[in-house]
């Protein structure tokens, strides 16, 4: 039995701001319990709902020295779905109404968290063989494990391996060197260009990448892309240097939550054999709910997203007038940049009956959009993994994507000559190339309905559950441990 400690700044079901929380909460459930004891540790934020806190059990507490300050560390424990979760308690750092806020405060908060995680291990009676770190918030853990002035001098920590998973390279945890030195207690030795320093500042994620035994990211294509300047966010040289210990493993989705046969949020459950009849009933119900023209034959496109440039919405903005004036309906759900929020509000006003813009986030409505639309648009500038395309395929809603990162790895573009494919794709970051793809998909939907239904069949037959991803992580754990 090998011990794995999964360290994350957020985790479902306790607290979530993005896909990282899904990975931290879902992946450990699917790791083989016969071979691995996987536990998860995260901060005990005040923002965690009370219904979960009622089940937290006090484990231990101690005081920890971090640089010039002495801090209280409490450890709470709970078990969910057979997985043990530890929560690091400190009211000073985790008392905000959301997990992240001012970057300067976050850097100190997560320096404390990284140090507290490692300091707590001896008192938990759990010595991990691998500490699996996620994103910049945990980037100092591989560094501390190698720091002879702190943890590396204690034989308890000798031989503990670390894996660093990058969920989005854009976020790195960067601030000036002197401040980070004060926050972390690390010596000058670590603040050189081959370690934590990047372009004159200190960089948490860079430290994690340099010192981890292995680096992963959330799709094979993204693992290749981040070795190029365009996607590398200033760290492409480092990613090329670590190429021999870098791999990509696509995220999964929870097939019990995203299941068209049992989904409690949708009006008419369906499966791969009866979607031709039942899926259209959901479409009509959604059209009624959103005030769109009720017509089950109308080509309906969904978009559930953060409304930001990264998601390719500048392309949508460029051709939105053409999209709206064609024979289709467009359903948008999400929040983000005010210019995109206002753009979608404007088009709903201008094309009432064809365009619906819900400028907020609602999980129930998201499920209904996945289950009701014919196609789903994701024209991302970059996409480390992406989950929406996996969810839409699960519901027989055909993804229309830009071929980048995880979108390229999970969506096979339709080939009319070979009769293959699970979606539609375009390659160059170009608004009219995207528009051509949408028009082609619409043409197949209206004029080649049998072919469209075969694409749906192939998409719904794909397995993007956590089971297949978990097997790949198990292989990685074995490789890192030299099994």
Cα dist. 232→16, 227, 387 in Å? Answer: 26, 6, 21
Could you read off the pLDDT of 412-437 as tens digits, one per residue?
999 999 999 999 999 999 999 999 99
The mean per-residue pLDDT over the stretch 345-361 comes to 95
Average pLDDT on 446-458 reads: 97
**Portion of the chain with pLDDT greater than 90, in percent:** 94
Q: Domains, the chain, ranges and CATH? A: 2-252+467-481 (3.40.50.2000), 275-463 (3.40.50.2000)
Structure tokens at 318: 């460029």
Average pLDDT, the chain: 96
Q: In the predicted model, is pLDDT for residue 66 greater than 90?
A: no
pTM, two decimal places: 0.93
* pLDDT value of residue 17: 87
CA 379 to the chain's CA centroid: 17
Q: Are 301 and 374 in contact (CB under 8 A)?
A: yes
**pLDDT exceeding 70 applies to what percent of the chain?**
100
Residue 12 φ then ψ, to 5°: -75, 150
109-153 pLDDT, tens digit each: 999 999 999 999 999 989 999 999 999 999 999 999 999 888 999
Instruction: Indicate left, alpha or beta for 175 from its phi (over 0: left) and psi (-120 to 50: alpha).
Output: beta
Sheet holding 375-378, edge to edge: 355-358, 328-333, 299-304, 375-378, 398-402, 424-426
- 3-state class (DSSP) for residue 413: strand
Omega prior to 13 cis, within 30 of 0? yes
What's the CA angle centered on 6, arms 5 and 10, to 5 degrees? 145
């Amino acid at each position: 039995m090998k011990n794995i400690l999964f360290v994350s700044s957020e985790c479902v079901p306790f607290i979530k701001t993005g896909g990282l929380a899904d990975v931290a909460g879902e992946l450990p459930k699917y790791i083989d319990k016969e071979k691995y004891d996987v536990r998860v540790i995260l901060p005990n934020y005040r923002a965690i709902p009370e219904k979960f806190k009622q089940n937290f059990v006090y484990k231990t507490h101690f005081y920890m020295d971090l640089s010039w300050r002495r801090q209280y560390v409490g450890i709470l424990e709970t078990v969910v779905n057979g997985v043990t979760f530890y929560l690091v308690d400190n009211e000073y750092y985790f008392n905000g109404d959301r997990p992240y806020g001012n970057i300067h405060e976050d850097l100190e908060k997560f320096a404390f968290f990284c140090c507290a995680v490692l300091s707590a291990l001896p008192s938990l009676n759990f010595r991990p063989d691998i500490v699996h770190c996620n994103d910049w918030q945990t980037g100092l853990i591989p560094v501390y494990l190698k720091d002879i002035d702190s943890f590396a001098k204690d034989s308890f920590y000798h031989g503990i391996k670390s894996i660093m998973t990058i969920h989005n390279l854009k976020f790195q945890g960067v601030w000036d060197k002197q401040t980070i030195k004060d926050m972390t207690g690390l010596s000058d030795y670590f603040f050189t260009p081959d370690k934590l320093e990047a372009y004159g500042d200190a960089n948490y994620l860079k430290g994690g990448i340099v010192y981890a035994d292995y680096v992963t990211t959330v799709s094979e294509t993204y693992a290749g892309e981040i070795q190029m300047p365009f996607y590398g966010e200033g760290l492409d040289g480092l990613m090329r240097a670590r190429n021999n210990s870098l791999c990509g493993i696509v995220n999964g989705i929870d097939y019990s939550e995203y299941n068209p046969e049992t989904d409690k949020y949708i009006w008419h459950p369906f499966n791969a054999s009866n979607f031709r009849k039942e899926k259209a009933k959901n479409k009509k119900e959604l059209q009624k709910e959103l005030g769109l023209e009720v017509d089950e034959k109308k080509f309906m496109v969904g978009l559930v997203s953060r409304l930001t440039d990264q998601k390719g919405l500048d392309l949508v903005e460029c051709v939105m007038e053409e999209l709206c004036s064609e024979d289709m309906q467009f359903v948008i759900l999400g929040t983000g940049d005010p210019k995109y929020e206002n753009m979608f509000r404007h088009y709903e006003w201008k094309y009432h009956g064809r365009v619906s813009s819900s400028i907020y986030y609602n999980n129930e409505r998201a499920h209904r959009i996945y289950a009701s639309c014919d196609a789903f648009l994701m024209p991302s500038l970059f996409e480390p993994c992406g989950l929406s395309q996996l969810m839409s395929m699960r519901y027989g809603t055909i993804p229309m994507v830009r071929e980048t990162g995880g979108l390229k790895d999970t969506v096979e573009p339709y080939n009319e000559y070979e009769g293959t494919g699970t979606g539609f794709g375009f390659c160059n970051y170009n608004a009219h190339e995207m528009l051509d793809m949408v028009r082609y998909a619409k043409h197949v939907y209206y004029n080649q309905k049998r072919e469209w239904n075969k694409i749906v069949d192939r998409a719904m037959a794909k397995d993007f559950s956590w089971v297949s991803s978990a097997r790949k992580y198990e292989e990685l754990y074995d490789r890192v441990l030299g099994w």
